[in-house]
Every structure is written in structure tokens, then in C-alpha cells.
Amino acid sequence: MKLSHLKIVTTMAILLGTSSCIAQTTERPLRIGVLSDLSSIYSSIGGKGLIDAARMAIEDFGGKVNGRAIELLTFDTENKVDLAAAKARQWFDIDGVEVVTDMPTSGIAIAVSNIAREKKKIALITSAGTSDLTGKECSPYAVHWTYDTYALAAGTARALVRDGGNSWYFVSAGLAFGEALERDATSVIVKEGGAVLGGVRHAFGAPDFSSPILQAANSKARVIGLANAGQDLVASIKQAREFAVQTNGTRIAALLAFITDVHGLGLDSAQGLYLTEAFYWDLNEQTRAWSRRFYARNGKMPTMNQAGTYGAVLHYLYAVQAAKGGDSGVVMRELRARPINDFMTKDGTIRSDGRVLREMYLFQVKSPIESKGAWDFYKLVATIPGNVAFRPQENGGCPL
């Protein structure tokens, strides 16, 4: 071979090698989108703390998967379905997002889950509650991670009916979530031999709860079931305390309450409340260790949605690693094949309808005298196995 030809071959080899290196170093990142509430009534439940929990999962995984950098994109939905849906489409179509998580309301979760199905992308729903997400609205690309309205009812409503609270009146948010929570609680109450005397719906983010609380009190029901959440729940409980509803023996059931709600209310107002959660920071050494890390970064203990988002993102990243660059269908198979094991969930599984089965916990809020310090709010009443806490798959109506 002539020297000139040798130089050309050598130069081409160098250029090809350089191109290969550039291709390897510029491989597109794995992008995870968080559709959150940063400015509205659920911001203390999820918000910046939930975004940070997702970051913690990425950091703990190592920041890369299969050689690809992991990027986190965030968006404040303001709890508006149209904004969340538009952003999800943009992320999937333009920005290369492969999975979305959080989704603070049921309406947002249903809309985005449908878009993810259309685009063959993955939705990890860690905040929305309606059990319809694993029923008539189920999707082969969606996972309902943390809790649902059926599990909340199976915990709190069943316990109160068995403890004498056999007549109920509901104060419910006029949303898909509130309707589903009231429906699921009603089915449990009736099954346990109780009765529902009526209910009233209120607007999302209502400025005043005096009218619905007085309607509930005048019903003479033994239990007022609050099927709302966030600031709506806190305002409802404060209004009930203001009217001294509980002095006549009426009990208040917070069907979806978070540790941040109890913190906001204070133990004087929240003491005695029954509530069902998927997580509590002080359950064991593992929950305490992770929660202290979270507290050091956020100045508060985590909610179950924040802890759940950490677990969902970490489990997803392990599935992507195992799928070795496969599409969403392959990743979904890996998600279901792997048992879920982290500080929050032990031997959890994902059913074909997307429901994560895990233990749920019935708690009662401590009195100020019982509490031993900051954030020491709950005493454990019962541990509910996953196959009891969540609706049987055959009863959900999921076509999958």
C-alpha cells in the first residue's frame, strides 16, 4: 500500500473513531418529568419536597443509567388538567421525556395516563388517589403507586364502623377524587353494617366550610367523613373544631390526611383523628434513616407521596437498567417482574391493572401529652396487608 493511501486510511479510521466517541458522549439523556403542585392547596403534600425526593432517587442510583445521564424536568400544574395535559404532550413529543410522575389530582392523573398510553410512555402516579386509575381508567403504561381511595376506605372507614361509628355523613370535594373516595368509603360502610345518611359536596379550594360542616352536624350522624385533602381538609377540621362538633360524641374521619396536615393543625386540633397512610417516618430504622436525610434537605418530615415518589423513580431506574435500552413495553415488563423493596415497601408487587400492592397502616393521632417531640404524631393501630387493603382486581372493571 502506498504511503498516501495509508495516510488516508489512517485518517478515516481516526475520524470514524472520533465520531463514535462523540456519539457515545452525546447520547440523549433519560428524562423524567414531574407534574407537580408548587403553588396551590396540595403543595405541602407534594410540591418541592416531592421533586427533591425524585432527585434523591436519581442521586442514590448514581445519576446515570446504561451510560445515559438522568435529567429531571419539573412543572407546576396549578392543579389544572389542561395545563398538565399540554405539558405532558410537549414533554413526550418534543422534549424526549420517557416517564412522568406525581400528578397531584385524579383529573390530571387520568388525563395524563391516557396521553401516556397514546404515546406509549410510562406514567408513575404517586399522588392522585382515585381507584378508577386501576379500574375503568387503567392503562398498560400506568402504575398507581402510593395509595388509592379504596385502601383509605378499607382502613379508616372499616375501623370506625367496627368501633361504633355506624352512621356517616360526607363532606366531599367536588372532584373525581372526592367522588371516588366517598363511593369507596360508602361501599365499605354498608358492607360492615353501617349507613350513610347523606353528603354535601364543596368546591375545590373553598374559602369557607361553615355551611357543609353545619349540614353534616345537623344530620346527627355519628361520623362526619371528610373526603377531601390538603388545605381543604385542614380548613374543614378547623371549622368542625370551631363549631365544637365533637362535643356531642360525633367523630371526624379524615379519609385522606397527611403528616403535613397534622403538623399544620397541631395536636390540640388533630388529636384522636383516625387516618390511613402508606408510610410514616417513625415506623422503623429504615424509615427513620431516609426521613432524616429528607428532613435535612427540606426542613420537614416526608409525606407518603414524597416517599412514594422516591421509591417509584428508583424502581423505574432499575427497570430501565435491566431493560438495556428497551422501549416502554419492555420497561413495564421489568417493572412488574421486579419485587419492590425499599425503606417504604417490602416485597411489593405491581398487578396487571397497574396497582402496587403494599401494606397500609391505620394510625390515630396522638394527644399533646402522648407526643414525645417534633413530628411524633401517630400511634399505629393496625397494619393492613396489601391483599386486604386494595380492591380485588376482578372487582375493578379494568379491561386488562
**Domain containing residue 185: CATH number:** 3.40.50.2300
Q: How far apart are CA 168 and CA 225, in angstroms?
A: 7
My answer on whether 139 and 198 are in the same domain is: no
Q: How far apart are CA 151 and CA 10, in angstroms?
A: 67
Mean pLDDT for 226-246 is 91
CA 158 from centroid of its chain's CA atoms? 22
My answer on whether 178 and 272 are in the same domain is: yes
Q: How far apart are CA 131 and CA 109, in angstroms?
A: 11
What is the extent of the structural domain holding 371? 150-277+360-389
My answer on whether 142 and 216 are in the same domain is: no
Collect contacts of 6-14 with beta carbons under 8 A, ≥24 apart.
none
Query: What is the percentage of the chain residues whose pLDDT exceeds 70?
Result: 94
Mean pLDDT for 226-243 is 91
My answer on whether 263 and 306 are in the same domain is: no
Evaluate if residue 42 carries a pLDDT over 60. Answer: yes
My answer on whether 217 and 365 are in the same domain is: yes
Strand ranges, E, within 132-176: 142-144, 167-173
Evaluate if residue 8 carries a pLDDT over 70. Answer: no
| Residue of 298 and 2 predicted with greater confidence | 298
My answer on whether 159 and 270 are in the same domain is: yes
Over the stretch 279-326, which tens digit does the pLDDT of each residue have?
999 999 999 999 999 999 999 999 999 999 999 999 999 999 999 978
My answer on whether 129 and 154 are in the same domain is: no
Going by pLDDT thresholds of 50, 70 and 90, the confidence category of residue 16 is very low
My answer on whether 249 and 379 are in the same domain is: yes
Query: What is the percentage of the chain residues whose pLDDT exceeds 90?
Result: 86
In a domain, 62, yes or no: yes
Q: How far apart are CA 204 and CA 13, in angstroms?
A: 65
Averaging pLDDT over each range in 197-211, 224-238, 339-353, which range is the top one?
A: 339-353
Going by pLDDT thresholds of 50, 70 and 90, the confidence category of residue 4 is very low
What grid cell was written down for 374? 417534633
| Residue of 194 and 16 predicted with greater confidence | 194
Evaluate if residue 344 carries a pLDDT over 90. Answer: yes
In a domain, 3, yes or no: no
What pLDDT sits at residue 6? 40
My answer on whether 351 and 380 are in the same domain is: no
Evaluate if residue 372 carries a pLDDT over 70. Answer: yes
My answer on whether 215 and 297 are in the same domain is: no
In a domain, 396, yes or no: no
Q: For the chain, what is the mean pLDDT?
A: 92
My answer on whether 267 and 290 are in the same domain is: no
In a domain, 331, yes or no: yes
In a domain, 12, yes or no: no
Number of domains in the chain: 2
Mean pLDDT for 325-345 is 96
Torsion on CA atoms 202, 205, 211, 213, rounded to nearest 10:
80
What pLDDT sits at residue 325? 79
Among left, alpha and beta (phi > 0; psi -120 to 50; other), residue 219 is alpha
Please list, in sequence order, all residues whose beta carbon lies within 8 angstroms of the beta carbon of residue 94, skipping any fewer than 6 positions away: none
In a domain, 20, yes or no: no
Over the stretch 183-221, which tens digit does the pLDDT of each residue have?
999 999 999 999 999 999 999 888 899 999 999 999 999
135 closest CA partner among 156, 108, 102, 106: 106
What grid cell was written down for 286? 429504615
What pLDDT sits at residue 26? 58
Evaluate if residue 22 carries a pLDDT over 80. Answer: no
| Residue of 275 and 325 predicted with greater confidence | 275
Q: How far apart are CA 321 and CA 58, in angstroms?
A: 13
Evaluate if residue 136 carries a pLDDT over 60. Answer: yes
My answer on whether 76 and 172 are in the same domain is: no
| Residue of 27 and 243 predicted with greater confidence | 243
Query: Are the CB atoms for 346 and 359 separated by under 8 Å?
Result: yes
In a domain, 334, yes or no: yes
In a domain, 232, yes or no: yes
What grid cell was written down for 9? 486510511
Mean pLDDT for 378-389 is 95
